[in-house]
Amino acid sequence: MASSTQTKNSAELCVLLIRELYGQLPSRIFEILLSTGRSTVQQLARISSTGLRHVRHGLAVLIQQNLIYHYTDSDTSRTIYEANHYYAYNIVRNGKILDCVHRNYGEAAKGIVHLVMASGHMRVGSIVDAYLKSHGKVANNVNGSSEPTNGHANGDDPFDDSAEEIQVSGHQVLDDIAHLIAIGILEPLSPKMLQSPEDIKREHESRVVHTVRDIRNRSQNLKMLLEPTYLYGSGAKRRKLANGDRTRGFSAANDDDTIEDTIILRVNYEKCLVELRNQRLCQFVDDNIGHTAAQVYGALLAALSKKLSCCQPDPRDDSIDPMNPPTVTTIEIFEYLKLSVDVFGGIGKPSADQINVTSAEKVERHPPSGDGDGDEAGYDAQASIEEPDNYGDVDMEMANGYHLNGAHGGNDGEVSGPNGTKDTKVTFADKGPTKAERMQRMRQHLLVLAESRIHFVRHSGTRDMGEWTVDFEILIRQLRFLELDTIIEDTFGREGLRLIKILRAKGKIDDKTLPTMALMQKGDVHMKMVEMELAGFLDVQEVPRDNNRVAARTLFLWFFDEHRTLTRTLDNTYKAMVRHLQRLEVEGQKKKNILSLVERTDVQGMEEEKLNGDAFNEYQQFLDIQSRLLGQVSKLDDLVSVLRDYQAQVLSVLRPPVF
Amino acid sequence: MDDKKELLKDQLYQACEEKLEGPDVTAYSRSFSQDDLQSLSICRELKIDLKALMGLVQSLTNDRRFIPLQSASGPVWRLRPEEEANKYRGLEKDQVLVYSWIDNAGGEGIWQQTLRNKTGITQDQQFKNILKQLEAKRLITSFMSVQNASHKCWIKASIKPSIKATGGPWYADGDLDESFINILLNVVFDFIKDQGSYSTRGTGGTARGASTSPVLPKKVLKGKESEVAVAARGKKRDADAITNDDESTPLKARRSNGQQRILLPMPAGYSNYITLAEITERIAAANITRGTKLKESDVKQLLDVLMYDGRIEEIKVGRRVGYRAVRISKHDPSNFVPGSVPSYDLPSNGLTEAPCGRCPVFELCEEGGPVWAGGCEYFDGWLA
């Protein structure tokens, strides 16, 4: 299955990534596994013309890094290996994930995840040991010269938390690990999880879904055990954890017996992807609405992702009801809102009579049904909501309520006069906002997000000052279109984008109608259309009006094939990533002499002193080129995430379910 | 007998004329069937039988006062205004033939080639002479249809070519007036941007820096309340007095010179997003369309294009369908100046920035092929 959805470019990319990180031998074996499919050790040895011992060695590396599935038939006791290209691709995201973990869960969490990531999977005991060891090393370095980060591949530099001087104990490390398990970023690994889903399927012919889910659940047991303390505990504690505060005033909730030393952990990329998606969506909001709204949205997503273990729920899993996605309440979101966020800015302040609160506070209990293209979606959903005939009157009443502390009232019991519009405003300017006011303003940001045509968030209920949910499917589709549009606009200009959007909104359109709709010259339209067709963004269908099939008597219907375009763009992105990595290799070859010098242990860490002027400059140049190329690869990966991973495509063929 | 018939004809024509409704331009497009004519009061009062009626209709048709047409339910007749009918007088037989075709073609006009085939006048010189004579009498005029740029069409001099033939306000002399459209697009976008956003001043440096600190913005808010916000609100209040609005905006821009203005989105439920009717009104008030009056349907076309360009979106608040700019905080708050190209920052992603995204030989690029990453000159340029 894994190889069936692979394109040449994505396979090439995975192999390059493995070569970059783990060397020639594992990448060669992985390449063979990708091209020939499931193989035994003997087959691999034959195809690669390598000795069995070497092959085994390479396989060990791959297994250690979760890059292959292996399965031993109980009858023949033959072991078969299969490439897990999804995990291989994830290598490119390592740096990004560490960054994200750092931002959301603090320095210590990043250190732990980094350790686990570097060795694929690890026993809890070893993590604690290794972490303490490396941390001790850093502690010693505090006074001396801290290791300069010399940007080795993937930017996963050694911990540069040199400022941190507090000694950590094993207890604290365990506590952090427990927290990461509770969030879901680390997951206990069971041998079954290294078997390909196909094999498990075959083993339990009939009860597939249950089995797959059982295995998942078994791995989740520990998470569930830890969740109450670490996720749903008091807000104060959670915040401390989130800020990576090391001076904890409470005893670690985790007793040593909850997490046994022998449990093996690995990074759960599915969950990491959720975090990355949150980050990307915040950017999306930042770009579309504004910075403050993006921060509020970030809080919402953080609250919501507590309830999400992966971006693409397994469609076979019937425990998830697509019509009732998880929701969060305003109060929950507020818990996650950083104190530093200024919710009072970022929205315009028209006079109260220009606000139609009925419309703003509108509750949509069900996801919009239309296929959200931004242009067309949402009309019907909105139209179906009944509006009171005299909305003008309601408007006025509610508008007052909006400027008070909201219809629901703040929980600090502050009472405002009936015409308190001005009073409240003066209040916050003078003595600083109260919690209730902050929450109220935060709600305004949420309402703006809900009103947007992009469907960032859906106001789905009124419990606890409002329930909110995100229809990821619709949202990610919009995001995908946005990425496509960006490419189209960049390549074919605004007119090209205009034409494509018309086709997307209207379906198939005849040659002659387009110029009128786009207000463009006929010749220009034709030229653009042909240009875009050649580039593969458009398709044309010829419908002859009679049997003669002459061009003059033929209708040319243009259309936009969403699925095909996405697939093509995705493959092009892979290809671009491959080219960047190949270029990096070539650049490395060019500077081979310098690089081999730098790799010497007596030079490492003090390049500036040991290398002579020219050599050092050349080394700097290489580092510059490397960071540019890798930076671009990471940006291209952002695109892959949007196009492939954040949400299944309509036909959901691009990514097999992985667990 | 003839006098009586003439009288009857006039009476019948007048009776039909009385049945016409609406303004002159559309009224004459009403058609009368045989039943309609028979049920006219005059027919019943004067006891005109079918045969006599046929005679009268035929005679009126000969006088060009009736236009015979075929409908699904049989023959029908349409009235030709008296003064139009008079134009046929004094024309020669061939001239009448040609003129009647042009007359019947109405606002669409008729292509010269079609006209020649229909009239059956084969001699080129003769045909051209007739047209020239008619043109000299100021009965007909020629124009180029936008549908087929090379087709010379003829139309009655008294009417203007229909929208279908001229392409509406977007065409000038048969050509799509792209610069006109572009200016209008930008002007309309400005209207939408102005009314659908809240303009404020950042504090010196970046606006974002200000909004992250919990202390700083309070002052900003206060300042905003006292100066800009009040001014802005004053401006918003008389949004009906649209012309004032136009004048006040550049004033404000000048005042806040030196300080960076930013645009903020409006809160949810903002019910003052500009509507189609308002935009149409403002375009008319601003008098930028060189005398061509833009109808709401024309403006809607512009709005559609802006929506397809991804610059604006439709927003329904209550029952009011308004328009607002997307990515409002990314827009330059100052207004569009004709002749300039408004800058807008394009979003970018990994593929558009990398050399591969715009590589013309991307399809050929292959390790060991004629083009490959190691020897790629686009990479050379990008990395340099």
Chain segment B233-282, per-residue pLDDT in tens: 333 333 333 333 333 334 333 344 445 677 888 888 888 889 999 999 88
Whether the Cβ atoms of residue B224 and residue B201 lie closer than 8 Å to each other: yes
Q: Does B146 touch chain A (CB under 8 A)?
A: no
Distance to chain B for A110, nearest Cα, Å: 25
Q: Give contacts of B208 with chain A, Cβ < 8 Å.
A: 291
Select from A241, A233, A193 the least CA-distant residue to A217.
A193
Query: What gap in Å lies between CA A231 and CA A182, rounded to an integer?
Result: 7
In chain B, which residue's Cα lies nearest the Cα of A622?
Answer: B383
Classified by CATH at the fold level, domain B2-83 comes out as Arc Repressor Mutant, subunit A (1.10.10)
Contacts with A, B 230-249, CB within 8 Å: 233, 236-237
DSSP reduced 3-state for B225: helix
Q: Does A384 touch chain B (CB under 8 A)?
A: no
What value does the mean pLDDT of chain A take?
76
Select from B85, B308, B268 the least CA-distant residue to A357.
B268
Q: Does B197 touch chain A (CB under 8 A)?
A: yes
DSSP single-letter state for residue A646:
S
Tell which of B317, B353, B367 to mutate to test the A interface (max A CBs under 10 Å).
Answer: B317
Q: Does B371 touch chain A (CB under 8 A)?
A: no
CA distances, A358 to each of A22, A352, A395 (Å): 59, 13, 7
Of the pLDDT bands very low, low, confident and very high (cuts 50, 70, 90), residue A13 is very high
* Of the listed ranges A225-229, A327-331, A435-439, B179-183, the one predicted with least confidence: A225-229
Tell which of A387, A395, A442, A519 to mutate to test the B interface (max B CBs under 10 Å).
Answer: A519
Mean pLDDT, to the nearest integer, of A597-605? 78
Query: In this predicted structure, what is the pLDDT of residue A100?
Result: 92
Where does B178-330 sit in CATH, by number? 1.10.10.10
Res B227 pLDDT > 70: no
Query: In this predicted structure, what is the pLDDT of residue A17?
Result: 92
In this chain, the answer to whether the domains covering B2-83 and B93-166 adopt an identical fold is yes
* Of the listed ranges A203-217, A293-307, A507-521, A532-546, the one predicted with least confidence: A203-217
Whether B376 sits inside 8 A of A583 (CB atoms) is: yes
Res A127 pLDDT > 50: yes
Pick among 3.30.70.250, 1.10.287.130, 2.30.110.10, 1.10.10.10: CATH of B93-166 = 1.10.10.10
Of the pLDDT bands very low, low, confident and very high (cuts 50, 70, 90), residue A649 is low
Q: Does B381 touch chain A (CB under 8 A)?
A: no
Which value does ipTM take for this structure? 0.75
Q: Find where tokens 């560490």 sit.
A: A98
Query: What gap in Å lies between CA A647 and CA A655, rounded to an integer?
Result: 10
Q: Give the 3-state DSSP-derived string for A313-364, with helices as H, strands as E and coil as C.
A: CCCCCCCCCCCCCCCEEHHHHHHHCCCCCCCCCCCCCCCHHHECHHHHCCCC
Query: In this predicted structure, what is the pLDDT of residue A114?
Result: 92
Distance to chain A for B52, nearest Cα, Å: 48
Whether B267 sits inside 8 A of A289 (CB atoms) is: no
Q: Does B319 touch chain A (CB under 8 A)?
A: yes
Whether A354 sits inside 8 A of B271 (CB atoms) is: yes
Q: Which residue has the higher pLDDT, B26 or A189?
A: A189
Which of B200, B212, B349 is the closest to A639 by Cβ? B349
Query: In this predicted structure, what is the pLDDT of residue B311?
Result: 86
> How large a percentage of chain B has pLDDT more than 70?
76
Where does A493-560 sit in CATH, by number? 1.10.10.10
Q: Give contacts of B294 with chain A, Cβ < 8 Å.
A: none
Architecture of domain A3-83: Orthogonal Bundle (1.10)
Mean pLDDT, to the nearest integer, of A400-419? 38
Res A312 pLDDT > 50: yes
Tell which of A386, A583, A627 to mutate to test the B interface (max B CBs under 10 Å).
Answer: A583
Select from A483, A548, A551 the least CA-distant residue to A511.
A551
In chain A, which residue's Cα lies nearest the Cα of B312?
Answer: A375
Q: Does B316 touch chain A (CB under 8 A)?
A: yes
Contacts with B, A 416-455, CB within 8 Å: 425, 428-429, 432, 444, 447-448, 450-451, 453
Mean pLDDT, to the nearest integer, of A240-258? 45
Query: In this predicted structure, what is the pLDDT of residue A575?
Result: 92
Query: What gap in Å lies between CA B269 and CA A448, rounded to an integer?
Result: 8
Mean pLDDT, to the nearest integer, of B58-86? 79
CA distances, B298 to each of A376, A395, B181, B303 (Å): 20, 33, 11, 9
Chain segment A343-371, per-residue pLDDT in tens: 888 888 877 778 887 788 888 887 776 44
Mean pLDDT, to the nearest integer, of B180-198? 86
Res A247 pLDDT > 60: no
Mean pLDDT, to the nearest integer, of A103-122? 90
Q: Which residue has the higher pLDDT, A396 or A299?
A: A299
For chain A, which residues make up each domain, given as ranges? 3-83, 90-143+150-267, 275-470, 493-560, 566-645
Of the pLDDT bands very low, low, confident and very high (cuts 50, 70, 90), residue A231 is low
Query: In this predicted structure, what is the pLDDT of residue B245?
Result: 37
A336 Cβ contact list (under 8 Å, min separation 6): A299, A300, A302, A303
Whether B348 sits inside 8 A of A354 (CB atoms) is: no
DSSP reduced 3-state for B363: coil
* Of the listed ranges A473-477, A495-499, B10-14, the one predicted with least confidence: B10-14
Which of B237, B265, B302 is the closest to A290 by Cβ? B265
Res A204 pLDDT > 60: yes
Distance to chain B for A177, nearest Cα, Å: 31
| Number of inter-chain CB pairs under 8 A, A vs B | 244
Q: Which residue has the higher pLDDT, B139 or A90?
A: A90
Task: Please report, as a single letter, which amino acid is at residue A128.
Answer: V
Q: Does B209 touch chain A (CB under 8 A)?
A: no
For chain B, which residues make up each domain, given as ranges? 2-83, 93-166, 178-330, 350-383
Of the pLDDT bands very low, low, confident and very high (cuts 50, 70, 90), residue B174 is low
Select from A253, A251, A238, A248 the least CA-distant residue to A178.
A253
Query: In this predicted structure, what is the pLDDT of residue A26?
Result: 93
Query: In this predicted structure, what is the pLDDT of residue A378?
Result: 38
Distance to chain B for A378, nearest Cα, Å: 10
Query: In this predicted structure, what is the pLDDT of residue A102?
Result: 93
